[in-house]
Structure 1
Amino acid sequence: MLSSFGRRFGAPVVAAMSVAFVSASESPAATRIERVVSPGGIEAWLVREPAVPLIAFEFAFKGGATHDVAGKEGTANLVSGLLDEGAGDLDAAAFHDRLDAKAIELRFSASHDNLRGSLKTLVENRDEAFELLALAVNRPRFDAEPLERVRQQVLAGIRRKSTSPNTLASEMWWATAFPGHPYGRPVEGSADSVAAVGADDLKAFVGKVVSRDTLKVAVVGDIDAATLAQLLDRVFAGLPKTGQPVAVADAVPQGLGQRQVVELDVPQSVLTFGWPGLLRSDPDFMPAFVLNHILGGGTLSSRLYQEVREKRGLAYSVYSYLMSMDHAGLILGGVSTRNDRAAESLAVIEREVGRLGKDGPSAEELDKAKKYLIGSYALRFDTSGKIAAQLLQIQLDELGIDYIDRRNDLVAAVTLEDVRRVAGRLLLQDMLVTTVGRPVGLGNVGQGG
């Protein structure tokens, strides 16, 4: 069947790029990334690995929870939970039986910006796996029984999170930072909005988002380009050429300078803090990435870890990270500490952020950060699934098929001047802080407080 399919549509278009997954100072272990374009025009990046009898297949469509209709937030999340709950002529039980019989892993997930899918299968079960994937993507059923079952699972999760200090602090931060914007709404939605979503809403969401124009695909495993091209068309060629994108405004987090507290009777206070960062396309992103490692991204070596945990014993963990979404760039962080030390912990964090913003890091800090970031990069590629996920994210970020080959050189090229300049650009800002617990000395403070 596959061979006749291939003859009918002709040969795939393939371009190749050799990529080294180790730093330039090491003996390179090159892996070949092929750009495969199917006869139907579906593009994928492929890393062929015949030594492992597996295929890891990752894909994404642009448009996630940002495309939920107002009042029906959580639609994208429900779609991701139902795409493998029956498709075509197979109800949920029959669909799962066929997946389980061949040990096929098929998962979907939704974020604010994307709807993603992941397929893992043994090569010997390839045809069955891709047949089921094609059904899920093209002919989802959204039957009443699985819809209500998944809805109740989501609602149970929302109820559990309503008593979680970490979730409460995070959701309050996002709601305050992005009022009236889709980023201010939880991907899972609320109890009321999830209850309002029906099958027609799920179908309408699929019609808006699941289309070929925003599709990105990454594949790793024992499969050649010609076979992959046939499978790409088998799964995706029948989708609409274009979707119905929803215009989403670019946004900058609001509420900077505010300190908000939700009282909860727990022994520790959870603090979420953040302020504007950078989009992934910003020329300063790589210096900012290195800077954040120095600030709070390095688990044991970061300034925040040293000042908050090692020197003062205020918390077990403290961190910061860059978050680059399609329409907003952020620097986010968090810490959990005793209620009576919450104010002290926040003061130390704010002081260290400001000090790094004013003076920048030392040459030694920069050198150690770059060595770590370069040396640890290969760990992102130690399984087929990780490689496929990385290739997909690189496509979503529009970094180019040669990015993996260039990435460590980009880190190495970051100078002390670069990092100090970006520190002044990013770290000398007020932060929005949301706290859940019974923090001593932290009250609700408005703008400029």
Structure 2
Amino acid sequence: MARAQEIQKVVSASGIEAWLVEDHTVPIIAIDFSFAGGVSQDEDGKEGGVTMLTSLMDEGADDLSSEEFLTALEENAIKMKFDAGRDRFFGSLRTLTPNKALAFELLAKAIQSPHFEASSVERMRAQWIASVRRAEKDPNTILARTFREAAYPGHPYSRPSNGTATSLAAVTQADLKHLHKAIFTRDGLTIGIVGAIDAESVKTLLDQVFAPLPAKGDLKPVEDVKIARIGEIHVPFDAPQTSIRFGAPGIDRQDDDFYAAYLVNHILGGGSFSSRLYNEIREKRGLAYGVYSYLTSSDHAALFAGGMATRSENNEQAITLVKQEIARLGKEGPTQEELDATKKYLIGSYPLRFDSSSKISRQLVALQNEGLNIDYFEKRNSYIEAVTLEDTKRVAARLLDPSKLLLVTVGKQMKNASLAPKAPVSEDALAPSKTKPQTN
């Protein structure tokens, strides 16, 4: 596991900062990085533009055509990948040390001077349109879309990350160039590097790749938001199983109650085979193959959510059990035995997150994005250990209330479900919240 004292804060001559873990045991370098600005930057009616951008970054850059660029990556075993979340645009590079110079040269070209050639744009557009059309028939896609639109109506978080066939068709080369210019800047840039490379070499490469980027971009502001509705929504779908998702306001990663909430959620449904939901719904009654809950935070919303799939004739019973377990844990809190077992598991399993260079470099970026300190790896387990039974009972009461759930089902018609949310949340619940992303 990467210990805090092994992480170096490296700052280049031009002021580019990265967190570095040197590891010379194998000749591999892994770099992960992220820019402020994700799919929430898509223009209305042009959803999917940022997602298209992720697939075009290696389609030719600077003096290399698409074919030449991709061939250089393949022939030299260099892996370059781009992805986008709601609020950030992510990239990664994996290379053998002997190919370091070429790998970072290609990365610099991709980041600074992508082509967005018409042929590449049209090819990627066609692939994404085909993908979203296939997804339109997938119950889980329908479930996610319905939940987003009900939870965050009118907000960028309500939009489909991959867009629709219509919105993707509306994205132009000029739009892609504008998104690239707005997102690929040094402001908000976070970088994690792990592998057989020293700090001085890192400084040089940081300036080569990132220093030429503009200091700031022109990102659209995104407002903070909370779940806007409660109640049940049912979407008819002819399938033997009903897909179910539930959600309620969560607890921000920077909240003092976060670690207690993390433990409470693990006991409820985050602990897989050991959770209460798994025991009641899978083990005792066999109503679902799996059931889960989780806490997550984006830059502008905190969410407690979960889900499962069950045979349509069992959906009402399964939903009732979910609500009962949420209510019971919210009212009574965990037992001391549950808390002790959860702490032991979370502390003991933590090193498994750091069994590869790639996992560590991704975590380095996540820590920075969440505003955590460079010594977090060293201190994290002590934060878990410090949570008391009284903390978990108090936070369970704060977090878990079935009356605050938004619940969406996709499948055969439920007897008592409506086709629209039953009741809006009060205006207080619609007020902006100050939330940030999380790592655990």
TM over 0.5: yes
CA distance change for structure 1 residues 400 and 30 in 2, over 3 Å: closer, same or farther?
Answer: closer
1:447 aligns with 2:422: yes
1:134-149 maps to which residues of 2 (within 5 A)?
Answer: 134-149=108-123
1:217-228 maps to which residues of 2 (within 5 A)?
Answer: 217-228=191-202
Contact 1:342–1:439, Cα closer than 8 Å, also in 2: no
Q: Deviations over 1:188-245 (max 9, x none)?
A: 1111111100111011011111100110000000000000000000000000011112
User: Which of 356, 361, 386 in structure 1 is aligned with 2:329?
Assistant: 356
Letter in 2 for 1:285: F
Counterpart for residue 405 of structure 1 = 378
Counterpart for residue 180 of structure 2 = 206
Where in structure 2 are there 5+ consecutive unaligned residues?
A: 425-440
Letter in 1 for 2:207: D
User: Which of 177, 191, 194 in structure 1 is aligned with 2:151?
Assistant: 177
Aligned length: 422
1:297 aligns with 2:267: no
1:84 aligns with 2:58: yes
**Residue 440 of structure 1, CA deviation:** 4.1
User: Which of 316, 320, 340 in structure 1 is aligned with 2:313?
Assistant: 340
Q: Distance in 2 between matches of 1:416 and 1:232?
A: 46
Contact 2:4–2:376, Cα closer than 8 Å, also in 1: no
User: Which of 286, 304, 321 in structure 2 is aligned with 1:331?
Assistant: 304
**Residue 127 of structure 1, CA deviation:** 0.4
**Residue 448 of structure 1, CA deviation:** 4.4
1:69 aligns with 2:47: no
1:379 aligns with 2:340: no
**Residue 263 of structure 1, CA deviation:** 1.1
User: Which of 262, 266, 274 in structure 1 is aligned with 2:239?
Assistant: 266
Contact 2:152–2:227, Cα closer than 8 Å, also in 1: yes
**Residue 340 of structure 1, CA deviation:** 0.3
Counterpart for residue 21 of structure 2 = 47
Letter in 2 for 1:263: P
1:154 aligns with 2:128: yes
User: Which of 117, 125, 131 in structure 1 is aligned with 2:91?
Assistant: 117
Q: Secondary structure at the match of 1:335?
A: strand
Counterpart for residue 221 of structure 2 = 247
Letter in 2 for 1:181: H
Counterpart for residue 363 of structure 2 = 390
Letter in 2 for 1:447: K
Counterpart for residue 188 of structure 1 = 162
Q: Deviations over 1:41-79 (max 9, x none)?
A: 000000000111000000000110111111111111111
Q: Secondary structure at the match of 1:39?
A: coil
Q: Distance in 1 between matches of 2:113 and 2:379?
A: 40
Q: Distance in 1 between matches of 2:416 and 2:339?
A: 34
Q: Distance in 2 between matches of 1:220 and 1:145?
A: 36
Q: Deviations over 1:373-405 (max 9, x none)?
A: 111110100000000011110110011111111
Q: Secondary structure at the match of 1:212?
A: coil
Letter in 2 for 1:239: L
Letter in 1 for 2:127: Q
Counterpart for residue 437 of structure 2 = none
Give the alignment's Cα RMSD to 1 decimal: 1.3
**Residue 447 of structure 1, CA deviation:** 2.8
Q: Secondary structure at the match of 1:308?
A: helix
Q: Secondary structure at the match of 1:213?
A: coil
Letter in 2 for 1:108: F
After superposing the two structures, state which structure 1 stretch, 312-321 or 433-442, moved more.
433-442
Q: Distance in 2 between matches of 1:87 and 1:266?
A: 46
Contact 1:264–1:438, Cα closer than 8 Å, also in 2: yes
Q: Deviations over 1:80-100 (max 9, x none)?
A: 110111111111111101111
Counterpart for residue 108 of structure 1 = 82
Q: Deviations over 1:275-317 (max 9, x none)?
A: 1102211111111111110010001010100111111111010
Q: Secondary structure at the match of 2:6?
A: strand
Q: Secondary structure at the match of 1:78?
A: helix
Contact 1:279–1:326, Cα closer than 8 Å, also in 2: no
Q: Deviations over 1:238-264 (max 9, x none)?
A: 00011112111000011112x111111
Contact 1:296–1:319, Cα closer than 8 Å, also in 2: yes
Counterpart for residue 312 of structure 1 = 285
Counterpart for residue 438 of structure 2 = none
Q: Distance in 2 between matches of 1:337 and 1:369?
A: 27
Q: Distance in 2 between matches of 1:287 and 1:400?
A: 19
Counterpart for residue 417 of structure 1 = 390
Contact 1:113–1:326, Cα closer than 8 Å, also in 2: yes
CA distance change for structure 1 residues 367 and 325 in 2, over 3 Å: closer, same or farther?
Answer: same
Contact 2:4–2:378, Cα closer than 8 Å, also in 1: no
Contact 2:4–2:375, Cα closer than 8 Å, also in 1: no
Letter in 1 for 2:422: Q
Contact 2:24–2:197, Cα closer than 8 Å, also in 1: yes
Q: Distance in 1 between matches of 2:165 and 2:5?
A: 47
**Residue 441 of structure 1, CA deviation:** 2.8
Q: Distance in 2 between matches of 1:79 and 1:99?
A: 19
Q: Distance in 1 between matches of 2:43 and 2:118?
A: 21
Q: Secondary structure at the match of 1:206?
A: helix
**Residue 365 of structure 1, CA deviation:** 0.6
Q: Distance in 2 between matches of 1:339 and 1:153?
A: 33
Counterpart for residue 285 of structure 1 = 258
Contact 2:185–2:214, Cα closer than 8 Å, also in 1: yes
